[in-house]
Structure 1
Amino acid sequence: MEFEWSASEAAPAAAALFAWGANSYGQLGLGHKEDVLLPQQLSDFCKPGCVKRITGGGGHSAIVTDEGDLFVCGLNKDGQLGLGHTEDVLYFTPCKSLLGCPVQQVACGWDFTIILTENGQVLSCGSNSFGQLGVSHGPRRCVFPQAVELLRETVVSIAAGLRHALAATASGLVYQWGTGLASSGRRLCPGQTLPLFLTAKEPNRVTGLENSQAICVLAGSDHSASLTDAGELYVWGSNKHGQLASQAAFLPVPQKIEAHCFQNEKVTAVWSGWTHLVAQTETGKVFTWGRADYGQLGRTLESHEGWKPEKQDSSLPCSRPSKSTPSPLHCLTGATEVSCGSEHNLAVMGRFHQQPGMALPGQLIGDKASQTLVCRYHGNMAFPDSPGNLTGICCCERFRWRSATALSPLETEQTVKTGSHVPRTRILKESGDPLVWGVSLLGLERARHVRGRHRSQCLGPAARAGSAIIVRSPRGLWGWPLPGPLPAASPPCPGPAPHGH
């Protein structure tokens, strides 16, 4: 997820940057490699109010400031930090090779980084084992950002997946490079010739979008997406978990998700996780679809949405028996920010003026939305608007979204002291306005890295009592774990190690 201040907005006077989650490579920038269960404030490597964008990859993180400076930290085995070496970095460190070259956007892939400068030029660094740097005859890795020469047009949006990358130009064209989707395409669509943009190690124009004008691009582990200026969403690549809302197992060329899937409304924003997508329409409605076995859709699937691996019909090599359908999450209508990690999400709910015909949730907390919120693959960063004001984060539990819950000062104080269970859905009013109080529920799914691969613990009802609770009040940030055991970790999630080839 990325966020950018508009020219008319002023940054809050007392901004702060927090990070928490998996930290096996120092990707939280806290100076160590221990996992962090509660949000920790980062040191002032730059003025927090100047943070413009935050993004994260498989084990590394990047921050862009208002002045276009780039700060990076975390896993650096393949030089994905662009610092000229391959040592992991535990603190956010400026990318000095880009000084004097202001950065507009950064996209962090699994083990590589794509950088967009303010003049529309694209740079890349990190692993190039699958051509994901956009340099076909380049080295297997690059420790300094280098220009992607074949992108000669001005670029306005970039994206990075597991082993592929995308760019959208000012003229509305979409380019893709990296062979990350090719193996799935050959396996799932035997006998078909894949388009060049799926197999090329340098930027190639994505065919099938000739009658549309792209304004942004997105990437998951093995899928791609493009949003047009007409509010249409096109998707292609692997559909293993229904993330393309199609009956095909693999889409070699872009396919539009029909408007009726979004209640005939235009799509205005899209976010992609590893194997799921989230979209918001022009009236503020939020839709989710794709993989759901970690609760990342924030809802219980309907029976017809279930995805079960089945043997491919040889006569229909690209067919699947059913599809995952975008469905609305009414509790997130009007969300001001959404962020997708690999298998989890965060959302910011700020004050929102109700429009005719729009039903808004009652769990709005905070006088305004957080400036910046980002889900890394297994960690998070949040940028509250002030120390005394809850950002309004909604945390995704196993199957349901839970809004941050307001507490009275007395109950907050008693709960912090006693560690008693906190009501998760009740709103307690104090002095006529509880909106400066809130609770975030964390730890409902815990992920950790084991020998370069990530394992996740799906916490059931019995273990939720052991989840971490964060309370933000005018008196500061409070956090503590509730008592209760954690179950054993589930089998490793599929996916290569950050340094896998």
Structure 2
Amino acid sequence: METSSSTEFCLHSWGANSYGQLGQGHVDDQPEPRFSDITALQHKAVRTLTGGGGHSVVITENGEVFVCGQNNRGQLGLGHIADITTLQICPSLTQRVSKVACGWEFTICLTDSGRVLACGSNAFGQLGVGKAVSHSADLLVVESLKDPVVSVAAGLRHSLAVTVSGCVYQWGTGLCSHAKRALSPRPVPPHLSSTVPSLVPGLDQKNVNMVTAGLAHCVCLTEDGDLFLWGSNKHGQLTSTEPFLSSPTLVKRSLLGGEKVVLVCSGWTHIVAQTESRRVYTWGRGDYGQLGRQTCHHAERQMTGPSAGSGNTVVSLPAEVKVLCGATQIACGSEHNLAILGGRLLSWGWNEHGMCGDGSQSDVFQPQLVSGVRPLLIGCGAGHSMAVSPVTTDSTQNSATTSETSEQEH
């Protein structure tokens, strides 16, 4: 989607706000959309909205990065560790940034030239710069990624990148404890235990072009429209009976209507995929409503057997959310989701902090309309939501500009 760069827009935000991640100048949760203070943007075109555990990042069309929210580990890249309650430009960035991925307390930036920069907590090696750095308030170059990178992703405490040649690299030890329990006495593979980028095996000749990540799982999408999953399977999100998958495993296309996948995004423990006919499928954990559908049917079943461990393993198979067919954008928070469909904004899932935008704190089990917002661009943090919409007569002091759709990476 492209719009005129001379047209003004405003930024709405809602949900959790303990650290000022809504960019509204305060730290009170907001159960309904409210205007963010975008004075610093100076009517710049907005390309991407996204967030992490308690921080938000906005990328402009010119590749500038604006940040706000939690900064206790330097995840805003501002050279200090003070929280910020309104959007500020990241002044140290001299390279244009095209994409960004936010983890719990860290941020991964991808420049137009394909370099990867990282800041924030490195307690689990999630910055990809080795063990010597505990955290960094300055953006560090991930030097060992020699080839240009085209996609990045951040989980809770691990990171992923895809190079221009289609190779996938992983770093951060966030999955290591899960792997040790599941694989013992076998050793944990290097890509699950490395503090610098390590090549993920099993994807030769697959031409991966996109990655995303959950709390303790990984997702990649190939140019051919195939999905591969690996990591923790605690909530059946890997469509397998195994408790842990150490290497990428193909999701059978028959589970997705026999179609290619064109978009995938991930929450902490659930996955949302859209196929070539714009049908939307969800699977994984659903007890907060994050699947947007009833889960008590054939798509979820109890599996038993040697591979299921000491008890039953719930396998959550993809099922279509028919009301989302035709969605033009989808974004996942940790346990909630946003979508744009027919120019309307829909939300569903966990709502304890009001991130579904309906004024309540009750979980939402089916996609519902978020009133008062005409969305052009959406993004989620772990527990908050953001949307760019056209300026109305009462929002002329809260305007910005949007130019294209957001990269849907959690």
Q: TM-score range by the shorter chain?
A: 0.7 to 0.9
Q: Quote the offset at 1:188 in angstroms.
A: 1.9
1:46 paired to 2:51: no
1:114 paired to 2:108: yes
Give secondary structure in 1 for the equivalent of 2:132. coil
Normalising by structure 1, we get a TM-score of: 0.70
Q: Mind listing any 5+ residue stretches in structure 1 that lack a counterpart? A: 353-362, 389-474, 478-501
Q: Quote the offset at 1:48 in angstroms.
A: 5.0
Show the counterpart of 2:329: 337
Q: Quote the offset at 1:364 in angstroms.
A: 10
Show the counterpart of 1:91: 86
Show the counterpart of 1:10: 4
CA contact (8 A) 1:76 1:88 kept: yes
Q: Quote the offset at 1:38 in angstroms.
A: 1.9
CA contact (8 A) 2:119 2:127 kept: yes
Cα shift readout 1:107-145 (whole Å, capped 9, x = no counterpart): 110011111111100011111111001011331011100
Q: Quote the offset at 1:40 in angstroms.
A: 1.2
Structure 1 pair 108/307, CA: closer, same or farther in 2 (3 Å)?
farther
Structure 1 pair 73/307, CA: closer, same or farther in 2 (3 Å)?
farther
299-308 or 28-37, which moves further after superposition? 299-308
**Structure 1: 4+ residue segments shifted above 6 A:** 312-316, 363-366
1:287-302 aligned at under 5 Å gives the runs 287-302=281-296
Show the counterpart of 1:348: 340
CA distance in 1, matches of 2:169, 2:43: 34
Higher RCO (C-alpha 8 Å, min separation 6): 2
Cα shift readout 1:171-208 (whole Å, capped 9, x = no counterpart): 11100000000100111222222221001000011001
Show the counterpart of 2:408: none
CA contact (8 A) 2:69 2:85 kept: yes
Show the counterpart of 1:328: 320
Q: Larger strand proportion, structure 1 or 2?
A: 2
Structure 1 pair 315/269, CA: closer, same or farther in 2 (3 Å)?
closer
CA contact (8 A) 1:343 1:377 kept: yes
CA contact (8 A) 2:14 2:29 kept: yes
CA contact (8 A) 2:10 2:395 kept: no
Normalising by structure 2, we get a TM-score of: 0.85
CA contact (8 A) 1:188 1:318 kept: no
Show the counterpart of 2:268: 274
Give secondary structure in 2 for the equivalent of 1:298. coil
1:377 paired to 2:382: yes
1:19 paired to 2:13: yes
CA distance in 2, matches of 1:128, 1:261: 37
CA distance in 1, matches of 2:311, 2:164: 35
Show the counterpart of 2:64: 69
1:74-473 aligned at under 5 Å gives the runs 74-98=69-93, 100-306=94-300, 317=309, 321-350=313-342, 370-387=375-392
CA contact (8 A) 1:286 1:329 kept: yes
Q: Quote the offset at 1:341 in angstroms.
A: 0.8
Give secondary structure in 1 for the equivalent of 2:10. coil
1:51 counterpart letter in structure 2: V
Q: Quote the offset at 1:16 in angstroms.
A: 1.1
Instruction: Give 1 or 2 for the bigger CA radius of gyration.
Output: 1
CA distance in 1, matches of 2:307, 2:148: 43
CA distance in 2, matches of 1:382, 1:324: 30
CA distance in 2, matches of 1:48, 1:382: 15
Q: Quote the offset at 1:385 in angstroms.
A: 3.6
1:469-488 aligned at under 5 Å gives the runs none
